[in-house]
Amino acid sequence: MFHNVVSVEVKSRFLTGILLLLSSICFAQNVRDLNKSALQNSTRKSSSGSESSGRSGGSSNYTSGSSDLSGCGDLEGCGAALEGLVYIFIGIGKGIELLAKEETRLYKRNQFENRLFALEGNFAGTIGFRNFTKIQPQVRLHLGWFSFDYKQFFLFDNTGNFKSREFTTWFNLMNHPNFKLRTGIGSLYLNTNRETYFLYGMGIDILPNAPVRIEAWGNLTQAFEFGYLRPRQEIGLRVHYEFWEKGHLLGSVFTGVSNQLYYNKLNFPGADFGLNIFLSFHKFMPREKDLPLSN
Protein backbone atom coordinates (compact mmCIF):
# COMPACT_ATOMS: atom_id res chain seq x y z
CA MET A 1 0.00 0.00 0.00
CA PHE A 2 2.87 2.36 0.80
CA HIS A 3 4.30 1.67 -2.67
CA ASN A 4 0.99 2.60 -4.30
CA VAL A 5 0.82 5.87 -2.36
CA VAL A 6 4.37 6.78 -3.44
CA SER A 7 3.59 5.84 -7.04
CA VAL A 8 0.49 8.04 -7.07
CA GLU A 9 2.43 10.93 -5.54
CA VAL A 10 5.23 10.64 -8.14
CA LYS A 11 2.71 10.53 -10.98
CA SER A 12 0.85 13.57 -9.63
CA ARG A 13 4.07 15.55 -9.31
CA PHE A 14 5.10 14.56 -12.83
CA LEU A 15 1.75 15.65 -14.26
CA THR A 16 1.92 18.88 -12.27
CA GLY A 17 5.37 19.60 -13.71
CA ILE A 18 4.14 18.97 -17.26
CA LEU A 19 1.17 21.29 -16.73
CA LEU A 20 3.42 24.01 -15.30
CA LEU A 21 5.76 23.68 -18.27
CA LEU A 22 2.91 23.91 -20.76
CA SER A 23 1.37 26.86 -18.94
CA SER A 24 4.73 28.68 -18.88
CA ILE A 25 4.99 28.26 -22.65
CA CYS A 26 1.39 29.05 -23.49
CA PHE A 27 0.27 31.64 -20.99
CA ALA A 28 3.25 33.22 -19.23
CA GLN A 29 3.90 36.07 -21.66
CA ASN A 30 2.52 37.98 -24.61
CA VAL A 31 3.61 40.73 -26.96
CA ARG A 32 2.42 43.41 -24.54
CA ASP A 33 4.79 42.01 -21.89
CA LEU A 34 7.59 42.04 -24.47
CA ASN A 35 7.04 45.71 -25.28
CA LYS A 36 7.02 46.54 -21.54
CA SER A 37 10.31 44.71 -21.00
CA ALA A 38 11.90 46.52 -23.94
CA LEU A 39 10.89 49.92 -22.53
CA GLN A 40 11.98 49.03 -19.00
CA ASN A 41 15.43 48.02 -20.22
CA SER A 42 15.90 51.09 -22.41
CA THR A 43 18.97 53.26 -21.76
CA ARG A 44 17.75 56.33 -23.65
CA LYS A 45 16.30 58.10 -20.61
CA SER A 46 19.12 57.27 -18.21
CA SER A 47 21.83 58.19 -20.70
CA SER A 48 20.61 61.79 -21.11
CA GLY A 49 21.52 62.77 -17.55
CA SER A 50 24.93 61.15 -17.58
CA GLU A 51 25.66 62.68 -20.98
CA SER A 52 25.13 66.24 -19.72
CA SER A 53 27.35 65.68 -16.67
CA GLY A 54 29.99 64.11 -18.86
CA ARG A 55 30.03 67.11 -21.16
CA SER A 56 30.56 69.56 -18.25
CA GLY A 57 33.50 67.60 -16.90
CA GLY A 58 34.96 66.70 -20.27
CA SER A 59 36.19 70.14 -21.30
CA SER A 60 38.72 70.43 -18.46
CA ASN A 61 40.18 67.02 -19.27
CA TYR A 62 40.59 68.00 -22.90
CA THR A 63 42.43 71.24 -22.18
CA SER A 64 44.71 69.64 -19.61
CA GLY A 65 45.53 66.75 -21.94
CA SER A 66 46.29 68.96 -24.93
CA SER A 67 49.36 70.41 -23.23
CA ASP A 68 50.96 66.95 -22.81
CA LEU A 69 51.66 66.33 -26.52
CA SER A 70 55.35 65.61 -26.87
CA GLY A 71 55.89 64.17 -30.37
CA CYS A 72 58.03 61.12 -31.08
CA GLY A 73 60.55 61.67 -28.29
CA ASP A 74 63.74 60.65 -30.15
CA LEU A 75 64.79 59.56 -33.62
CA GLU A 76 65.20 55.90 -32.63
CA GLY A 77 61.64 55.74 -31.27
CA CYS A 78 60.21 57.28 -34.44
CA GLY A 79 62.15 54.78 -36.55
CA ALA A 80 60.78 51.82 -34.58
CA ALA A 81 57.24 53.13 -34.89
CA LEU A 82 57.58 53.58 -38.66
CA GLU A 83 59.06 50.09 -39.00
CA GLY A 84 56.10 48.66 -37.10
CA LEU A 85 53.68 50.45 -39.42
CA VAL A 86 55.50 49.03 -42.46
CA TYR A 87 55.14 45.47 -41.11
CA ILE A 88 51.46 46.07 -40.41
CA PHE A 89 50.83 47.25 -43.97
CA ILE A 90 52.78 44.30 -45.37
CA GLY A 91 50.68 41.90 -43.29
CA ILE A 92 47.45 43.57 -44.43
CA GLY A 93 48.59 43.32 -48.06
CA LYS A 94 49.38 39.60 -47.75
CA GLY A 95 46.01 39.00 -46.09
CA ILE A 96 44.18 40.76 -48.92
CA GLU A 97 46.17 38.76 -51.48
CA LEU A 98 45.28 35.44 -49.81
CA LEU A 99 41.63 36.46 -49.54
CA ALA A 100 41.53 37.39 -53.25
CA LYS A 101 42.96 33.97 -54.17
CA GLU A 102 40.39 32.20 -51.98
CA GLU A 103 37.53 34.23 -53.47
CA THR A 104 38.73 33.35 -56.99
CA ARG A 105 38.87 29.66 -56.07
CA LEU A 106 35.37 29.75 -54.58
CA TYR A 107 33.99 31.59 -57.60
CA LYS A 108 35.26 28.81 -59.89
CA ARG A 109 33.66 26.21 -57.61
CA ASN A 110 30.37 28.09 -57.81
CA GLN A 111 29.97 26.91 -61.41
CA PHE A 112 29.22 23.44 -60.01
CA GLU A 113 27.91 24.15 -56.47
CA ASN A 114 25.93 27.40 -57.08
CA ARG A 115 25.63 28.29 -53.38
CA LEU A 116 28.88 30.22 -52.89
CA PHE A 117 28.00 33.30 -54.97
CA ALA A 118 24.25 33.90 -55.00
CA LEU A 119 21.36 36.04 -53.80
CA GLU A 120 18.97 34.25 -51.46
CA GLY A 121 15.52 35.32 -50.33
CA ASN A 122 13.32 33.81 -47.60
CA PHE A 123 9.73 34.60 -46.80
CA ALA A 124 8.86 32.74 -43.59
CA GLY A 125 5.88 32.69 -41.30
CA THR A 126 5.72 31.24 -37.80
CA ILE A 127 2.71 29.73 -36.06
CA GLY A 128 3.31 30.09 -32.35
CA PHE A 129 2.87 27.27 -29.87
CA ARG A 130 0.57 29.73 -28.15
CA ASN A 131 -1.60 32.48 -29.65
CA PHE A 132 0.89 34.48 -31.73
CA THR A 133 2.11 34.68 -35.31
CA LYS A 134 5.33 35.97 -36.81
CA ILE A 135 6.45 37.05 -40.30
CA GLN A 136 10.17 37.00 -41.19
CA PRO A 137 11.26 38.34 -44.59
CA GLN A 138 14.99 37.87 -45.17
CA VAL A 139 17.60 38.61 -47.87
CA ARG A 140 21.10 37.14 -47.88
CA LEU A 141 23.90 37.92 -50.34
CA HIS A 142 26.55 35.21 -50.68
CA LEU A 143 29.98 36.39 -51.85
CA GLY A 144 32.23 33.39 -51.32
CA TRP A 145 33.92 33.68 -47.95
CA PHE A 146 31.45 36.40 -46.86
CA SER A 147 27.66 36.59 -46.65
CA PHE A 148 25.54 39.61 -45.76
CA ASP A 149 22.16 39.01 -44.14
CA TYR A 150 19.24 41.40 -43.59
CA LYS A 151 16.15 40.16 -41.73
CA GLN A 152 12.99 41.69 -40.29
CA PHE A 153 10.64 40.35 -37.60
CA PHE A 154 6.96 41.20 -37.22
CA LEU A 155 5.48 39.58 -34.11
CA PHE A 156 1.70 39.76 -33.53
CA ASP A 157 -0.89 38.60 -31.02
CA ASN A 158 -4.14 40.00 -29.60
CA THR A 159 -2.24 42.30 -27.21
CA GLY A 160 -0.17 44.19 -29.80
CA ASN A 161 2.77 43.91 -32.18
CA PHE A 162 6.56 43.93 -31.86
CA LYS A 163 8.97 44.79 -34.66
CA SER A 164 12.71 44.35 -35.01
CA ARG A 165 15.36 44.07 -37.69
CA GLU A 166 18.86 42.68 -37.81
CA PHE A 167 21.92 42.84 -40.04
CA THR A 168 24.63 40.17 -39.89
CA THR A 169 27.97 39.76 -41.65
CA TRP A 170 28.75 36.05 -41.92
CA PHE A 171 32.22 34.54 -42.33
CA ASN A 172 31.87 31.22 -44.16
CA LEU A 173 34.69 29.32 -42.46
CA MET A 174 33.98 25.92 -44.04
CA ASN A 175 32.68 25.56 -47.58
CA HIS A 176 32.54 21.83 -48.27
CA PRO A 177 30.07 20.72 -50.97
CA ASN A 178 27.89 18.88 -48.42
CA PHE A 179 28.58 20.88 -45.26
CA LYS A 180 28.99 24.58 -44.57
CA LEU A 181 29.86 26.33 -41.31
CA ARG A 182 29.58 30.06 -40.73
CA THR A 183 30.03 32.48 -37.86
CA GLY A 184 28.91 36.07 -37.86
CA ILE A 185 28.57 39.39 -36.10
CA GLY A 186 26.01 42.14 -36.56
CA SER A 187 23.36 44.26 -34.90
CA LEU A 188 19.77 43.92 -33.70
CA TYR A 189 17.45 46.94 -33.65
CA LEU A 190 14.21 46.99 -31.64
CA ASN A 191 11.57 49.45 -32.78
CA THR A 192 9.85 49.66 -29.39
CA ASN A 193 12.75 51.26 -27.49
CA ARG A 194 14.80 52.35 -30.54
CA GLU A 195 17.85 50.53 -29.17
CA THR A 196 20.59 48.75 -31.16
CA TYR A 197 22.40 45.74 -29.71
CA PHE A 198 25.48 43.74 -30.65
CA LEU A 199 24.65 40.38 -32.25
CA TYR A 200 26.83 37.30 -32.83
CA GLY A 201 26.09 33.72 -33.79
CA MET A 202 26.81 30.58 -35.81
CA GLY A 203 25.05 28.52 -38.47
CA ILE A 204 25.45 25.31 -40.44
CA ASP A 205 24.06 23.98 -43.72
CA ILE A 206 23.92 20.24 -44.44
CA LEU A 207 23.17 18.92 -47.93
CA PRO A 208 22.66 15.13 -47.56
CA ASN A 209 21.29 14.74 -51.11
CA ALA A 210 20.14 16.91 -54.00
CA PRO A 211 16.55 17.90 -53.10
CA VAL A 212 17.03 18.26 -49.32
CA ARG A 213 18.95 20.89 -47.35
CA ILE A 214 19.08 21.25 -43.55
CA GLU A 215 19.84 24.59 -41.93
CA ALA A 216 20.46 25.22 -38.22
CA TRP A 217 21.48 28.45 -36.54
CA GLY A 218 21.72 30.25 -33.23
CA ASN A 219 22.60 33.77 -32.15
CA LEU A 220 22.94 35.91 -29.04
CA THR A 221 22.62 39.64 -28.48
CA GLN A 222 24.39 41.75 -25.92
CA ALA A 223 23.41 44.93 -24.10
CA PHE A 224 26.37 46.23 -22.12
CA GLU A 225 24.14 48.20 -19.76
CA PHE A 226 21.95 46.60 -17.08
CA GLY A 227 24.48 43.94 -16.09
CA TYR A 228 25.22 42.59 -19.56
CA LEU A 229 21.60 41.73 -20.29
CA ARG A 230 20.81 39.67 -23.39
CA PRO A 231 17.80 41.30 -25.16
CA ARG A 232 17.29 38.24 -27.39
CA GLN A 233 18.54 34.70 -27.82
CA GLU A 234 17.50 32.75 -30.91
CA ILE A 235 17.80 29.16 -32.14
CA GLY A 236 16.26 27.56 -35.21
CA LEU A 237 16.17 24.48 -37.42
CA ARG A 238 14.76 24.25 -40.95
CA VAL A 239 14.49 21.51 -43.56
CA HIS A 240 14.32 22.70 -47.19
CA TYR A 241 12.92 20.67 -50.08
CA GLU A 242 13.87 21.85 -53.58
CA PHE A 243 10.87 21.60 -55.90
CA TRP A 244 11.86 23.80 -58.86
CA GLU A 245 15.04 24.61 -60.78
CA LYS A 246 15.49 26.60 -63.98
CA GLY A 247 18.54 28.42 -65.29
CA HIS A 248 20.03 30.49 -62.47
CA LEU A 249 17.00 30.05 -60.17
CA LEU A 250 16.23 27.44 -57.55
CA GLY A 251 13.06 27.29 -55.46
CA SER A 252 12.43 25.37 -52.25
CA VAL A 253 9.84 25.14 -49.51
CA PHE A 254 10.85 24.66 -45.90
CA THR A 255 9.51 23.86 -42.48
CA GLY A 256 11.09 23.80 -39.05
CA VAL A 257 11.02 25.18 -35.53
CA SER A 258 12.49 28.28 -33.92
CA ASN A 259 12.45 30.07 -30.60
CA GLN A 260 13.25 33.61 -29.51
CA LEU A 261 13.95 34.24 -25.83
CA TYR A 262 13.70 37.95 -24.93
CA TYR A 263 15.26 39.50 -21.83
CA ASN A 264 16.03 36.06 -20.36
CA LYS A 265 12.36 35.39 -19.53
CA LEU A 266 9.96 35.81 -22.50
CA ASN A 267 9.83 32.77 -24.83
CA PHE A 268 8.19 32.77 -28.28
CA PRO A 269 8.56 29.24 -29.71
CA GLY A 270 6.81 28.22 -32.91
CA ALA A 271 6.74 26.21 -36.14
CA ASP A 272 8.20 27.85 -39.26
CA PHE A 273 6.89 27.52 -42.83
CA GLY A 274 8.04 29.37 -45.90
CA LEU A 275 9.44 29.75 -49.39
CA ASN A 276 13.10 30.12 -50.40
CA ILE A 277 14.30 31.54 -53.73
CA PHE A 278 17.95 31.11 -54.72
CA LEU A 279 19.46 33.20 -57.56
CA SER A 280 22.93 31.88 -58.35
CA PHE A 281 25.65 33.80 -60.19
CA HIS A 282 26.08 30.68 -62.38
CA LYS A 283 23.58 28.50 -64.19
CA PHE A 284 22.57 25.36 -62.30
CA MET A 285 24.03 22.18 -63.78
CA PRO A 286 21.49 19.50 -64.77
CA ARG A 287 21.11 16.71 -62.24
CA GLU A 288 21.83 13.11 -63.14
CA LYS A 289 18.13 12.24 -63.26
CA ASP A 290 17.58 15.04 -65.77
CA LEU A 291 20.36 13.97 -68.13
CA PRO A 292 19.40 11.96 -71.28
CA LEU A 293 20.12 8.25 -71.07
CA SER A 294 23.14 7.17 -73.12
CA ASN A 295 23.09 4.04 -75.25
| Top-confidence residue, 2 or 45 | 45
**The pLDDT of residue 56 is above 60:** no
Summarize pLDDT for 203-257 with one digit per residue, the tens: 999 988 779 999 999 999 998 776 678 999 999 999 999 999 999 999 999 999 9
Q: b/e for 81-94, b at 16 or more Cβ within 10 A?
A: eeeeeeeeeeeeee
Do the beta carbons of residue 222 and residue 251 sit within 8 Å? no
pLDDT higher than threshold 80 for residue 150: yes
111-283 maps to which CATH number?
2.40.160.20
